[in-house]
Amino acid sequence: MQSLIPPLLVVYLLSAGITAAVAAWALQRHRERGAIPFGLQVGAMSLWSIGISGMLIAPTLEQKMRWLLVQDIAMFSVAVNWLLFTLTYTYRWRTHALDRRALLLWVPVGIGMALNATNPLHRLMYADWRIEPTLGGIQLTFGPAYWFSTVYALTCGIIGMVVIARNLGPVPGFFRQYKRLLLGCGLSVLLVDAIRFSGLFPLELTPVVIALFAVLMATRYSRNLIFGVVPIARPLVVNSMNEGSSILSAAGVVTSLNPAAERLLSLKTRLV
């Protein structure tokens, strides 16, 4: 199975390039709601793919463990940035990523990374490690600190999915499709994590999966300014208006109508 390493490298490096490009696209829109944590999340995915690539080609166990540290930093950063994205984009938090509450979310990540960097002294993160003979990865025996960090990351991911599901629930049309894409991304990550922990495939597929979803979001929705339009304001304000209202994308496409506009257009359609 050593023959699988070159194609795997191509896949991971391609994933790293794609997610880096999407991260740059999002961070260029840093003034728009949710763009910063989204860009940081996808950028961490790029770092994650680079870490896996470095681990595959590193010749010694010591070097592989260094690349594993890079992977872990990226992996746990992704989870926190996902939660920050959902909280800021849906206006559950009224500030961007760098406030006190956000910094508190990073405390467990910082502790986990400190334990990771000093793992040979206490083995709380990884109790044992050796080279995996088939794909060139690492066989790991997880310690309590790893499971704590993993549960924390999964909790951040699940809370983020709940925030998206609850707060984008009433939104029709275009934003409903965007909600489904976000939830599909979250569910896919949970699925590939389950595959990895079951031992069916020893390498991490999450960066590749999120790279695919990142391309979908960047190509399909960039024209509609997903970070610039606030979907949460719509059910709270626009839907209660007696006047008809529509939302247009930057390309002039009607993305949704409020109930008054739908009634008006339905009446006009029947008259015609």
pLDDT at 271: 34
Position 56 scores a pLDDT of 86
pLDDT value at residue 270: 35
**Which segments in the chain show pLDDT lower than 70?**
1-5, 91-99, 168-176, 202-203, 218, 220-241, 247-256, 266-272
What is the structure's pLDDT at 20? Answer: 92
Nearest residue to 125 via CA among 146, 106, 104, 96? 146
Burial of 233 (0-12, 13-18, 19+ CB in 10 A): exposed
What is the SS3 string spanning the chain?
Answer: CHHHHHHHHHHHHHHHHHHHHHHHHHHCCCCCCCHHHHHHHHHHHHHHHHHHHHHHHCCCHHHHHHHHHHHHHHHHHHHHHHHHHHHHHCCCCCCCCCCHHHHHHHHHHHHHHHHHHCHHHHCCCEEEEEECCCCCCEEEEECHHHHHHHHHHHHHHHHHHHHHHHHCCCCCHHHHHHHHHHHHHHHHHHHHHHHHHHCCCCCCCHHHHHHHHHHHHHHHHHHHCCCCCCCCHHHHCHHHCCCCCEEECCCCCEEEECHHHHHHHHHHHHHC
pLDDT value of position 127: 95
Residues 134-190 have pLDDT tens digits of 777 788 899 999 999 999 999 998 998 888 887 765 555 556 677 777 788 888 888
